[in-house]
């Protein structure tokens, strides 16, 4: 037998031994993690990480207030990063991207397979048992829904290459899972948010991203109180979506805490959703909405607001009157919106402990389109 063949076999054997040693070290490192970190690590198959953990109560403690939960989640994420379970973590405001070494990915997937699974709908599945599901290949409305339990807590639907799906297809899936706390519908070409979303009474986090045909949210999202526990609503890259809803006296209160929109052609903000959450809404981020030319006067009624970010909104030139009433506001950030920055610079807000971040003086309005 040639020497190079014996050498190759020896290298393969060594690689196998190294792999076994790394795996044993991984098991040891995982076993030494506190139970709350092991639980969070088991739900790694989501770019939402901290928000995923929060929606499922993984961050709840007896000492932390709700407003501090995301800070706790960031601490958890940092600890897992320092232990090398995650690599190259990047914060994209409403989601995170990260990398995992293949060995770590396989190990964590194995230990978390009872709770988290990724299902490719292009492949026939007879049954699926888990608490957190990511669906790929959501594009065939004729697919039969696999047999599942009713114990799901999160569903992430991602179509491949923005495939068209029907509202009945989404309703067929969503209506089976009444206990969802996190729902992401990404890249799905439907025109209206499925009515079944309005029946998800325990939903905490709703993500609507890159749905190019979405024109409006379903009527049930604001006609009933079923979504009163929704805490975070993220909408981006939905160019046809209209958000202007007027508030009615009969409308019940909501408990939304975070509202983020990005890359929309909206001309107004959804009063019905935001003002109904006036006592709970803490964080608003508005980015890349060029047709938004005026902020509503009722914005000053959101008395729980702590953070307001306005980015790349070239049509805005001033904040509404009465902003001094927002005494809970702690951070105002305006970037790539020079006219609005200049207006805020000339008329300062008399709010104690407020940090203000504006565009530099003399910034060109051309920056808005960057």
Per cent of the chain over pLDDT 70 is: 68
Element (H, E) at 345: helix 338-346
HSE at residue 121, side-chain half, CA atoms within 13 A, is 24
> In the listed set 277, 307, 337, which residue is the last one of a domain according to the structure?
307
pLDDT band at 90 (very low <50, low <70, confident <90, very high): confident
Answer with the residue of higher pLDDT: 117 or 53: 53
Cα–Cα distance, 145 to 271 (Å, whole number): 37
Residues 25 and 169 placed together within one structural domain of the fold: no
Closest CA to 159 of 206, 99, 123, 210: 210
Residues 103 and 24 placed together within one structural domain of the fold: no
pLDDT band at 304 (very low <50, low <70, confident <90, very high): very high
For the ranges 98-107, 166-175, 327-336, the maximum mean pLDDT occurs at 327-336
Residues 131 and 2 placed together within one structural domain of the fold: no
Report pLDDT for 107: 81
Per cent of the chain over pLDDT 90 is: 22
Estimate the crossing angle of helix 3-31 against helix 102-111, to 10 degrees.
50
CATH number for the domain harbouring residue 301: 3.80.10.10
Residues 130 and 7 placed together within one structural domain of the fold: no
Element (H, E) at 283: strand 283-287
Q: Is there a domain that residue 326 lies in?
A: no
Would you state the structure tokens that stand for residue 109, as one six-digit string?
């997937």
Residues 124 and 242 placed together within one structural domain of the fold: yes
Region 70-96 average pLDDT? 81
Cα–Cα distance, 171 to 173 (Å, whole number): 5
Residues 23 and 90 placed together within one structural domain of the fold: no
Region 242-249 average pLDDT? 64
* 127-156 confidence digits (pLDDT tens): 666 667 777 665 554 555 555 556 677 777
Region 341-353 average pLDDT? 88
Cα–Cα distance, 71 to 73 (Å, whole number): 5
Q: Is there a domain that residue 48 lies in?
A: yes
What SS3 state is found at 32?
Answer: coil
Residues 279, 257 contacting (CB under 8 angstroms): no
Kindly report the length of the chain.
370
Quick check: 63 pLDDT over 60?
Answer: no
Report pLDDT for 311: 95
Report pLDDT for 183: 86
> Is the Cα dihedral 59, 197, 48, 100 positive or negative?
positive
Q: Is there a domain that residue 327 lies in?
A: no
Quick check: 212 pLDDT over 80?
Answer: yes
Report pLDDT for 363: 62
Would you state the structure tokens that stand for residue 218, as one six-digit string?
């379903």
Region 293-311 average pLDDT? 94
Domain residues for the domain of 136 are: 35-307
Q: Is there a domain that residue 234 lies in?
A: yes
Residues 248 and 154 placed together within one structural domain of the fold: yes
Residues 220 and 283 placed together within one structural domain of the fold: yes
Report pLDDT for 328: 95
Q: Is there a domain that residue 241 lies in?
A: yes
Report pLDDT for 367: 44
Cα–Cα distance, 26 to 31 (Å, whole number): 8
Residues 277 and 237 placed together within one structural domain of the fold: yes
Q: Is there a domain that residue 6 lies in?
A: yes
Task: Count other Cβ atoms within 10 Å, centred on residue 151.
Answer: 10
Answer with the residue of higher pLDDT: 212 or 174: 212
Q: Is there a domain that residue 331 lies in?
A: no
Report pLDDT for 336: 94
**How many structural domains does the chain have?**
2
Would you state the structure tokens that stand for residue 315, as one six-digit string?
């049509």
HSE at residue 313, side-chain half, CA atoms within 13 A, is 28
Residues 76 and 198 placed together within one structural domain of the fold: yes
For the ranges 225-229, 268-272, 339-343, the maximum mean pLDDT occurs at 339-343
The residue assigned the tokens 């409305």 is 141
Report pLDDT for 51: 75
Quick check: 3 pLDDT over 50?
Answer: no
Over the chain, what is the mean pLDDT? 77
Element (H, E) at 108: helix 102-111
Cα–Cα distance, 291 to 252 (Å, whole number): 29
Q: Long-range CB contacts (< 8 A, 24+ apart) of 20-23?
A: 22/103, 23/103, 23/107
Region 1-21 average pLDDT? 51
pLDDT band at 259 (very low <50, low <70, confident <90, very high): very high
Q: Is there a domain that residue 194 lies in?
A: yes
Residues 13 and 137 placed together within one structural domain of the fold: no
> In the listed set 253, 288, 307, which residue is the last one of a domain according to the structure?
307
* 163-192 confidence digits (pLDDT tens): 556 566 666 667 677 778 888 888 877 788
Give every CB contact of residue 293 below 8 A, 6+ residues apart in sequence: 267, 315, 316, 317
For the ranges 1-10, 240-249, 315-324, the maximum mean pLDDT occurs at 315-324
Residues 151 and 282 placed together within one structural domain of the fold: yes
Residues 212, 238 contacting (CB under 8 angstroms): yes
What SS3 state is found at 28?
Answer: helix
Region 110-138 average pLDDT? 67
Backbone angles phi, psi at 46, to 5 degrees: -145, 135
């Amino acid at each position: 037998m040639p020497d190079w063949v014996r050498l190759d076999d020896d290298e393969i054997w060594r690689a196998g031994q190294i792999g076994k040693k790394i795996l044993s070290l991984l098991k040891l490192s995982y076993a030494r993690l506190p139970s709350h970190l092991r639980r969070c690590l088991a739900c790694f198959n989501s770019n939402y990480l901290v928000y995923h953990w929060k929606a499922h109560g993984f961050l709840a403690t007896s000492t932390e207030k709700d407003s501090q939960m995301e800070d706790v989640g960031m601490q958890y994420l940092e600890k897992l990063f320092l232990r090398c379970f995650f690599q190259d973590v990047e914060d994209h405001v409403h989601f995170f991207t990260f990398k995992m070494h293949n060995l770590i990915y396989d190990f964590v997937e194995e230990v978390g397979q009872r709770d988290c699974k990724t299902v490719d709908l292009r492949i026939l599945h007879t049954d699926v048992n888990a608490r957190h599901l990511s669906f790929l290949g959501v594009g065939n409305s004729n697919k039969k829904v696999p047999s599942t339990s009713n114990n799901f807590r999160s569903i992430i639907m991602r179509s491949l290459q923005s495939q068209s799906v029907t509202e009945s297809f989404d309703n067929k899936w969503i209506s089976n899972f009444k206990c969802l706390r996190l729902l992401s519908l990404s890249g799905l070409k439907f025109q209206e948010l499925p009515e079944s979303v309005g029946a998800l009474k325990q939903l905490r986090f709703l993500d609507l991203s890159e749905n190019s045909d979405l024109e409006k949210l379903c009527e049930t999202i604001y006609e009933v109180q079923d979504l009163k526990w929704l805490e975070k609503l993220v909408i981006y890259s939905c160019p046809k979506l209209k958000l202007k809803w007027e508030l009615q006296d009969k409308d019940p209160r909501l408990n939304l805490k975070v509202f983020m929109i990005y890359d929309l052609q909206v001309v107004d903000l959804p009063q019905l959703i935001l003002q109904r959450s006036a006592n709970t809404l803490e964080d608003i981020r508005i980015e890349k909405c060029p047709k938004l030319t005026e902020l509503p006067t009722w914005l000053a009624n959101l008395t729980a607001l702590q953070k307001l970010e306005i980015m790349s909104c070239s049509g805005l030139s001033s904040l509404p009157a009465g902003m001094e009433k927002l005494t809970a506001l702690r951070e105002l950030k305006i970037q790539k919106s020079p006219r609005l920055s200049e207006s805020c610079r000339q008329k300062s807000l008399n709010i104690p402990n407020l940090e203000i971040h504006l565009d530099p003086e003399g910034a060109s309005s051309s920056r808005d389109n960057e």
